[in-house]
C-alpha cells in the first residue's frame, strides 16, 4: 500500500554504487544544461538560484535570475538594498516570502560572516529560509562538501532506483532519502553528482512518461526492472485550495490610485496591492463590504461600477475576485499602510500577479476613457 514502505536503509552493493556514479556523471558531463548559475562556484550566486528555483521552473527563472544578479551582484549590494527594491527585482516570480527571507539572510551573512556565505552546515542552516535542501546544494556545489541535496527531482529518481513506496511528503522519508543520497555521493565530485541527480529528474526521469530508453542508469533501476516506474514516487495529495471571495477596489482621486500594503504576516505579506477585503456572503451590493470596511476607518468611499471578475490560485487559497471602482476624497487622512500613487507610476511598484491582473483589467477595459459615473464604469 502506498506510503507504507518502512524497510530500513540497506546500503547498495559497492559495484552498483560505482556503476551509478560513473554512468550518471558521464551522462551529466555530456548533457548538462548551460545555466547562468553554473558559470562558477560562487556560493552567493548558487544560493540565489536555489531560492528562485523553489516552486519555479528553470526556464522561467533564468531571465529573473539574470536581472536580479545584475542589480545585486554581491551579498553586500543585496544587503544594502531597501526591501521594496528587492521585491521589485523579484516581481513576477511569486512566493515573495522567499525574497524577503533571502534579503534577511544575506544581511546576516554580511554582518556576521563578512559577506562570505558560511561553509559550515550548522551555520548555513541557521540562515533564514535555508532548509536542508538549499544548505546541501550550496555546500556540495560551491564548497565541494559531500552533503545530500534532496529536492523533488531527487525524490523521484531515488524512489525509482530503489523501488521505494515511502510517501515523499513525510519528514521521515526525506531523512531516509538523504541517507541514501549520502551513501551514493562520491567524495571527488559531490556537487556534480547532486546536480546530475537533479538533471536526470528534470530531463529523463520525469514525473509523467519517463524516458527510460534514454536513461544512462536504466540497468540499475529497480522500478524499471519491475515495470512500476509510473507508480513512483508515492505522494499524498494535498488538500485542494480553499475558495475565498474577495473584493478589490480601483479607488481613485483625480489621476491617483489608492494602494494598500498587506499585513506583514500571511499571504502576500508586506506587499503593495489594491485595497482588498474578503467579501461577506450576505453582501447586498458589489463592493459593499469594501465600502463598509473603509467607513470603519473613517473614510467615505463612493462606489462605482463593477470593473470585472477574475480568479487566482495560490498554493492553499483560490481567490474569486470582484473588482469595483470607487472614489475617495483626497483630503481625508489615510491609514499608515495606504498611499496615493499616480496611475502612471504603478509600474514602479512590485505588485503581486493577482493585483497586476486587476490593474490590467482596468487598463484594458473598453470604456476606460469615459470617466467616473456612479453605477457606470469610468
Instruction: Show which residues are catalytic.
Output: 50
Could you identify the residue written with the cell 554582518? 111
Question: Phi then psi for 19, rounded to 5 degrees?
Answer: -65, -45
Of 174, 199, 195, give the one whose Cα is nearest residue 185: 195
SS (H, E, C) 280-335: CCCCCCCCHHHHHHHHHCCCCCEEEEEEEEEEEECCCEEEEEEEEEEECCCCCCCC
Three cell numbers written together for 75: 551579498
The CA–CA distances, whole Å, from 373 to 66, 121, 325 equal 45, 62, 10
For helices 43-53 and 97-113, the axis angle rounded to 10 degrees is: 160
Cβ atoms of 220 and 161 closer than 8 Å = yes
Amino acid at each position: 500500500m502506498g506510503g507504507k514502505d518502512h524497510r530500513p536503509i540497506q546500503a547498495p552493493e559497492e559495484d552498483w554504487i560505482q556503476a551509478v556514479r560513473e554512468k550518471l556523471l558521464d551522462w551529466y558531463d555530456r548533457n548538462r544544461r548551460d545555466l547562468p548559475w553554473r558559470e562558477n562556484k560562487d556560493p552567493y550566486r548558487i544560493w540565489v538560484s536555489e531560492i528562485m528555483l523553489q516552486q519555479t521552473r528553470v526556464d522561467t527563472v533564468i531571465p529573473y535570475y539574470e536581472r536580479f544578479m545584475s542589480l545585486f551582484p554581491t551579498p553586500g549590494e543585496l544587503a544594502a538594498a531597501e526591501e521594496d527594491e528587492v521585491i521589485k527585482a523579484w516581481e513576477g516570480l511569486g512566493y515573495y516570502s522567499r525574497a524577503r527571507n533571502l534579503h534577511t539572510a544575506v544581511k546576516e551573512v554580511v554582518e556576521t560572516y563578512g559577506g562570505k556565505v558560511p561553509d559550515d552546515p550548522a551555520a548555513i542552516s541557521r540562515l533564514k529560509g535555508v532548509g536542508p535542501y538549499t544548505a546541501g546544494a550550496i555546500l556540495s556545489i560551491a564548497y565541494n562538501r559531500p552533503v545530500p541535496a534532496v529536492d523533488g527531482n531527487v525524490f523521484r529518481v531515488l524512489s525509482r532506483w530503489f523501488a521505494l513506496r515511502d510517501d515523499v511528503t513525510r519528514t521521515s522519508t526525506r531523512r531516509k532519502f538523504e541517507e541514501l543520497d549520502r551513501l551514493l555521493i562520491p567524495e571527488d565530485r559531490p556537487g556534480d553528482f547532486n546536480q546530475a541527480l537533479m538533471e536526470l529528474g528534470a530531463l529523463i526521469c520525469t514525473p509523467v512518461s519517463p524516458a527510460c530508453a534514454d536513461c544512462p542508469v536504466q540497468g540499475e533501476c529497480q522500478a524499471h526492472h519491475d515495470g512500476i516506474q509510473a507508480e513512483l514516487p508515492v505522494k499524498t495529495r494535498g488538500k485542494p485550495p480553499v475558495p475565498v471571495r474577495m473584493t478589490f477596489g480601483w479607488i481613485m482621486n483625480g489621476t491617483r490610485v489608492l494602494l494598500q500594503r498587506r499585513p506583514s504576516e500571511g499571504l502576500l505579506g508586506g506587499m503593495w496591492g489594491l485595497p482588498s477585503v474578503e467579501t461577506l456572503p450576505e453582501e447586498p451590493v458589489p463592493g459593499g463590504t469594501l465600502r463598509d470596511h473603509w467607513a470603519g476607518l473613517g473614510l467615505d468611499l463612493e462606489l462605482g461600477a463593477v470593473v470585472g471578475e477574475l480568479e487566482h490560485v495560490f498554493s492553499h487559497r483560490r481567490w474569486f475576485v470582484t473588482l469595483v471602482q470607487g472614489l475617495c476624497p483626497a483630503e481625508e487622512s489615510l491609514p499608515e499602510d495606504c498611499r496615493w500613487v499616480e496611475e502612471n507610476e504603478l509600474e514602479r511598484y512590485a505588485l503581486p500577479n493577482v493585483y497586476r491582473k486587476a490593474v490590467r483589467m482596468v487598463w484594458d477595459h473598453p470604456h476606460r476613457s469615459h470617466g467616473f459615473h456612479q453605477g457606470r464604469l469610468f
